[in-house]
Amino acid sequence: MKTEMDFEDLMEEAYGLPNGTAKLGMLEEAARVADVNGMEEEAYEARSEIVETATFCGYPMKALIAFSWQLGKFDQQPERYDEETLMWSYKWILGELSSFPEVSRDKMMELLEDFGRRFKSFGYSERSYWYYRFRISMDLGDLEEAGSSYTKFRNMDRDFMSDCEACEQDEIMRYWILVGDDEKVLEAAKPILKGRMSCAEIPHLTLSEILMPLYRLGKIDEADKHQAKGYRMIKGHNDFVQSFAEQMDYLARTNPAKGIDVLEESLVLAMDHEDPFAKMMFYARAAQLLRRWADESPGYRLRLPASFPYEGDPGDLRKLADYFAAHAKSAADKYDQRNGNQHVSSMLSEV
Amino acid sequence: MTASNEYRFQVNLSGMIQILSNHLYSSPKVFLRELMQNATDAITARTEAEPGFQGEVRVELTGTGEHRTMMVEDNGIGLTEADIHEFLAMIGQSSKRGQQALLDGETSFIGRFGIGLLSCFMVSHEIVMLTQSAKGGPSMEWRGKPDGTYTIRQLETQLSPGTKVYLRCTPDAAHYFETEYVQEALFYYGALLPYPVILHSDDVQHIVNSESPIWLMEPELACGRRAEVFSFGERLLGEKFQDFIPLTTASGRTGGIAFVLPHAVNLNAKRSHRVYLKRMLISEKAENILPEWAFFVKCLIWTDELQPTASREHFYENEKLEDVRFELGDALRRGLADMAESQTERLQKLIRLHALSMKALAVQDQEFYAMIHRWLPFESTRGHRELGELISEGETLYFTTTVDEYRQIHHVASAQSMLVINGGYIYDSDLMAMLPLAVRNVQTERLQPDEVSMSFTDVPPAERNQYYDALRLADSALQRFRCRAEVKGFKPADLPVLFTLSQESSTLRALEKASEESTELFSSVLGSLSSGISSAGYSTLYLNISNPIIQRVLTSPDAQMTPIAIEMLYVNALMMGHYAMNRQELEVLNQGIVRFIDWGLRANTDRKGDA
């Protein structure tokens, strides 16, 4: 019986699967088997895989839980485990942390310091610390603080623990988006769009982020090109829920029919996503899109996933839009309260 | 522009050769492919000018050791003096534009000829080329050295049209000049060529490629020549196959044979299809030419419409490739659909080997799913069965979405003869959710662990009243584990309790467990996260009233004994369900065991005392 598989079998089967909930389930099962049988190193190994898989398929909470366990074990017996892999995971955790409104500002700063202290103690470059300070400040809406961290991290040496150039460049671009300087956004995007910088997630993310800035600058042809290419790259992957939101934001203005396709194709991915921020953005943009679409094509019945918890009539697009908007707004309130500003709700001002 | 204003960069041939050998080609052995490609292009060009012309490539090996020489001759269009100058100029331009231009650029026939020829410097310190253009003019000789120097001269004698290239091996590359190697490589690259490739070595001469089969250009004919297709497949791909599906596209410019792998494959296995571009092998590890789900086949594909990268080892990922990929996938799907209609046994056999691939495709394609659903295997409370059999039971098909949920409920569910399918494996729960859309008159329903309780027998209110005190004791004992007790009747009767866990309470358990092990800082972060979940996070311990021990615990509540018994039943249920226990729970287990031993012994001693 498969439910009685042992640790090695489970890990092997998990390694054979593509990233996704099935793989994650298999890894969790492996961690459980290891826990029950007191196999600590195996439990640690399974959790390393959980952190990575969960981070890249929409389960940041599971990643955080597994990482917390690992860090505790590591601190008890640092000689037993590899610190590079663990510290690399720490960066993923920091990158996701702000998505949970329950985690307070102070706690985030404490974690950032803990991260910085650990990086320093292993002799890694301080660039990573400042870079994550830059990112977290952006998440919290402290653009001034973000700006000064930006200046700082850029001048520091990169090392093997630094994020790749493409990822850094994408974050720099995000900074200019938040600041509202579309010309600078384009400038920052250039090396990515020209293909000079890329990685597993870039330009996937960039091609959606760039759409609204291009739209505002009136460069619709270019934006359309990036939209088509970008969507092709991310379609069906639940790692890109926020990108679907950006796609809908743009398409609501230029081609709502295509936007509806994006919504129908990716709603099931957004629903099941554990990152409340990405989900909020998706719901907010879905609401916006539905309102435009209701004007253009009244009576259209939106194809909702079977498990979507909406009781109303899927043909009443305005009601449905309200439903999405309500979700997004209540999430935004939580972020505003945590951040102590209107940063997040202002991103949804049109909803 | 006047001549005096025109400057030309010096061709930096040695730099070019560096680039080629270090960055462009994956291995020196490709020189032979490049020579074959040049020959093929030249023959194609001549055939266009002279319809009906019969091409031929001859490869001759002479000498031994350091003097081993290879001559590759074609009877193609040949080069004029102007052509030679042009290809040298092309190379010059490429080197001027730098490495990237060379790697990316689409080049003309002459340009490709030149670049291909340069690959020979990876195995030879000198290249001698004799050529006679079919268009006339004198025969030409070009001699090039890897330092970039070369000579061009007119020959006095007139050769017949075509090109001969002479190479003398470098010591490092001698093994590429051995007869056996060359013969194999020629077949490998040129098995599909429509004209003879002849190898002449040590006074022996033979044709390397048998006449190219007719079904190459018309794959639908392959079905009538199965034996021939299988032996060709085995010779080229090195495996004995038992089934294949012909691949065709609307344009007819791409086609192939998809051999069904005779063994199961891992979902992450490298998809290595062998692709021929204009009948020359271009790649044996083309991964991107078929859709993701097609990992159950190894294909021979020929195409003349895709654009190779400069190294000619891969294709550019562009829209054309995407269209071709879609069409090939569609052909594969049609092949399977035909089987579903007329050769179900063949399809069953295929599904048994490649269920995962079939499920991957079914998830993306409802129509296909409808066609093949009945043969897909699932794990259920009735054992490993094909979906068709499960459907024929005529019941609602309940399914879980995780292995964990299935594990929690399958004992109870099967005791109650509920039909539950384990949807925890990849694609399975998606397929279950989709099933009613794809197949008529089938009901599926997602089952949450706490929903199994639906089919429990309720205890009548009057009777429940009688357990009131015991339940209160139980609830207060379990409260610290964020669990509550409930009395129900269920099968099997020998199962005293059943522990169920909702998604939220499962997350909470994981949070707590990690929090115990983590650093103080992370524990407090996890603590604030759990505050966001808590409301729905209660688990349930069902006490089975049909079980004699539970009967006894419930009917004579003892303020001292009942809480401990309930706690023990709780940790026992955790153990039975293979849940990892937290510190508190482990402590309960340890203390409980000691206490029960103590009580048991004391009772024994007391009884002895009475006697």
pLDDT at A349 over 50: yes
The residues in A 200-229 lying below 8 A from B, measured between CB atoms, are none
Residue B99's pLDDT is what?
A: 45
* CB-CB neighbours of B244 under 10 Å: 23
Closest to B11 (Cα-Cα) out of B85, B97, B87, B91: B91
Q: Which two tokens stand for residue B45?
A: 């060009």
Instruction: Note the pLDDT tens digit of each residue in B99-116.
Output: 444 444 445 566 667 778
Largest CA distance in chain A: 65
Q: Which residues of chain B make contact with A36, given a CB cutoff of 8 A?
A: 578-580
pLDDT digits over B209-222, tens only? 876 778 877 888 88
Sequence-ordered list of residues with C-beta below 8 angstroms from that of A81, at least 6 positions apart, any chain:
A44, A70, A73, A74
* Segment (H or E) for B59: strand B57-62
* Predicted structure pTM score: 0.67
CB pair distance less than 8 Å for A100 and B532: yes
Average pLDDT, chain A: 92
Chain A partners of B579 at a C-beta cutoff of 8 Å? Answer: 32, 36
Instruction: Say if A75 is an interface residue toward chain B (CB within 8 Å).
Output: yes
Q: Model confidence over A106-165: pLDDT tens digits?
A: 999 999 999 999 999 998 999 999 999 999 999 999 999 999 999 999 888 889 999 999
Q: Is A104 on the interface with B (CB under 8 A)?
A: yes
Instruction: Choose the mutation target among B578, B581, B585, B586 for the interface with A, i.e. most A CBs under 10 Å.
Output: B578
Taking the Cβ of residue B551 and every Cβ of chain A, the question of whether any pair is shorter than 8 Å is answered with no
Distance, in Å, from the CA atom of B252 to the CA atom of B217, rounded to the nearest integer, reads 8
A278 reaches B (C-beta below 8 A): no
Residue from A27, A65, A76, A194 whose CB has the most chain B CBs within 10 Å, to mutate: A65
Which chain B residues are within 8 Å of A306, Cβ to Cβ? 433
pLDDT (average), residues B139-152: 86
Q: For A103, which of B322, B523, B525 is closest by C-beta distance? A: B525
pLDDT at B24 over 80: no
Q: How far apart are alpha carbons B60 and B165 in whole angstroms?
A: 10
Enumerate the residues of chain B whose CB falls inside 8 A of the CB of residue A32: 578-580
d(CA B129, CA B165): 4
Is A194 in CB contact (< 8 Å) with chain B?
A: no
Whether residue A96 has pLDDT greater than 60? yes
Rounded to 10 degrees, the C-alpha dihedral B372/B378/B380/B382 comes to 60
Among A266, A290, A288, A289, residue whose Cα is nearest residue A278: A266
Measured between CA atoms, the residue of chain A closest to residue B521 is A111
Instruction: Looking at the complex, report in whole angstroms how far the Cα of residue A178 sits from the nearest Cα belonging to chain B.
Output: 27
Closest-approach residue (CA) in chain A for B436:
A306
Q: Place B13 in a pLDDT band, splitting at 50, 70 and 90.
A: low
Rounded Cα gap, residues B351 and A223, in angstroms: 44
- Helices B503-517 & A60-76 angle (0-180, nearest 10): 20
Residue of A nearest to B428 (CA): A22
Q: Per the CB < 8 Å rule, is B519 touching A75?
A: yes
What pLDDT score was predicted for residue B268?
64
Q: Please indicate whether, in this complex, the C-beta atoms of B529 and A100 are within 8 angstroms of each other.
A: yes
Q: How far apart are the CA of A114 and the nearest CA of chain B, in angstroms?
A: 9
Residue B611 has pLDDT above 60, yes or no: no
Q: Output the pLDDT for position B101.
A: 44
A159-to-A196, B187, B379 alpha-carbon distances in Å: 20, 48, 49
Q: Which residue has the higher pLDDT, B293 or A248?
A: A248
More confident call, B450 vs B384: B384
Question: Which pLDDT does position B609 carry in this prediction?
Answer: 58
The values of phi and psi at residue B314, to 5°, are -145, 175
> pLDDT (tens digit, 9 = 90+) per residue, B223-246?
888 998 998 888 888 889 999 999
Q: A102, B521: Cβ pair inside 8 Å?
A: no
Region of poorest pLDDT, from A337-346, B519-528, B555-564: B555-564
C-alpha span between B148 and A215 (Å, rounded):
51
The answer, yes or no, to whether residue A10 has pLDDT greater than 50, is yes
CB pairs under 8 A between A and B: 106
Cβ of A15 within 8 Å of Cβ of B406? The answer is: no
B426 to chain A: which residues are within 8 Å by CB?
17-18, 20, 22-23
The answer to whether the CB atoms of B407 and A22 lie below 8 A apart is no
Q: Of the candidates B266, B403, B518, which has its C-beta nearest A71's C-beta?
A: B518
Q: Do A68 and B403 touch (CB under 8 A)?
A: no
Backbone angles phi, psi at B60, to 5 degrees: -125, 135
Q: What is the pLDDT of residue A72?
A: 95
Residue A67 tokens, joined: 């990482």
Residue B147: closest CA among B251, B12, B340: B12
Q: Do B518 and A66 touch (CB under 8 A)?
A: no
Mean pLDDT for A179-183 is: 95
pLDDT in tens, B355-411: 888 898 888 888 889 989 999 999 999 889 999 999 999 999 999 887 777 877 777
- Which tokens belong to B518? 């983590």
SS3 B176: helix
User: How far apart are the CA of B2 and the nearest CA of chain A, in angstroms?
Assistant: 36
Please check whether residue A72 touches B, CB under 8 A.
Answer: yes
Are the beta carbons of A136 and A98 closer than 8 angstroms?
Answer: yes
pLDDT at residue B343 is higher than 50: yes
Residue labelled with tokens 């043969």: B375
